[in-house]
Amino acid sequence: MPPFDAARKISAPLAAAEPLPSGAVTSEEQSPTPLPRRSFWQRFGRLISAVLAAVLIGGAAVGLWYGLPIKAVQITGNSHLSAGQVKQLAGLSGEKPFGWLYYGLWRATGLRDEPWVASAQLTRIFPDRVEISVAERTPVAQVRDRGGQVSVIAADGTPLPGAVATGPVISGWGPDRTQDALFAVRAFSRYNVESVTYTPTGITVQTGKGTIWSGDIKLLLKYGQAIETQAPVGRINLYPWGVSVQR
């Protein structure tokens, strides 16, 4: 029998681990590590910040509205329209004062739509004043439509409601030639134009010195001065090839 070796240790071989059945879940997979919970501010901080910012901005806007009201309105340039009408058209006739900081053209659309107003300039003067400068249209002629109704118009052809009848009477038939007639009114203004009649073939201008006709508006402008010498009591017809005078 061999001698005993005290240093030798007899160890049994380790048993091999049994293979996991197909589809089995390990203990690590069965118990995943839980994620840390997000704090209340992390979850809702951005939303709360946005709401607070909106409240602050809204409060500042309301404060400026009531803190800087329009207290004085200065109107210049109006003649036909009263100061009260201009204020109403400019959106400044309400019982409650409008906020100075927010006033602008968007509020004064009535001025843009008013036939009597050719142009308007709005100026805000800190802290509580608004100046409105108005340029009104001026009546220059009357237009008689085919039904016999007469309306007063400005130099650009805009009808002016409520205007006093003034200037020569424009009438005619066929395609509308009101702009050509207004051109003739301006061209012969120093001859006291009484009426302008248009047809598809030409324009007749009746003045205090006589009558002149032409089929071409440019000829009226070029040779219209002939009315001073050629037709003091007659009629001048202007053609591209010459002039005809009727006594």
Instruction: Decide if pLDDT at 65 tops 50.
Output: no
Percentage, residues of the chain above pLDDT 70: 68
Local confidence band at 233 (pLDDT 50, 70, 90 cut-offs): low
Euclidean distance between CA atoms 102 and 66, whole angstroms = 11
- Is residue 4 over pLDDT 60? no
Q: What is the mean pLDDT of residues 66-95?
A: 87
Q: What is the pLDDT of residue 239?
A: 85
Amino acid identity, residue 89? L
Radius of gyration of the chain (CA): 45
| Exposure letters 107-141 (e unless 16+ CB within 10 A, then b) | bbebbeebebbbebebeeeeeeebebebebbebbb
Architecture in CATH for domain 139-246: 3-Layer(aba) Sandwich (3.40)
Residue 39 confidence (pLDDT): 64
Query: What is the rounded CA–CA span in Å between residue 112 and residue 122?
Result: 12
- Which pLDDT belongs to residue 175? 94
Q: Identify whether 127 is preceded by a cis peptide bond (ω within 30 of 0).
A: yes
Q: Which of 118, 110, 112 is nearest to 138 (CA)?
A: 118
Taking only the tens place, the pLDDT of each residue in 93-150 is 876 667 776 777 788 899 999 999 999 999 988 888 899 999 999 999 999 998 899 9
Q: What mean pLDDT comes out for the span 8-35?
A: 52
Mean pLDDT for 61-71 is 59
CB 169 within 8 A of CB 144: yes
Q: What is the pLDDT of residue 60?
A: 47
Where are the domains positioned within the chain? 69-136, 139-246
pLDDT of residue 80 exceeding 80, the answer is: yes
Fold of 69-136: Ubiquitin-like (UB roll) (3.10.20)
Confidence band of 220 (pLDDT split at 50, 70, 90): confident
pLDDT digits (tens, 9 = 90+) for 22-36: 555 555 555 555 555
Taking only the tens place, the pLDDT of each residue in 154-184 is 999 999 999 999 999 999 999 999 999 999 9
Asked whether the beta carbons of 206 and 232 are under 8 A apart, the reply is no
> How far apart (Å, rounded) are the C-alpha atoms in residues 61 and 48?
20
**How confident is residue 10, by pLDDT bands cut at 50, 70 and 90?**
very low
For residue 219, what pLDDT is reported? 87
What's the CA gap between 156 and 24, in Å, rounded?
Answer: 93
What is the identity of the amino acid at 68? L
Q: Quick one: pLDDT band at residue 66, thresholds 50, 70, 90?
A: very low
For residue 163, the model assigns a pLDDT of 96
Predicted local confidence at residue 63, as pLDDT: 45
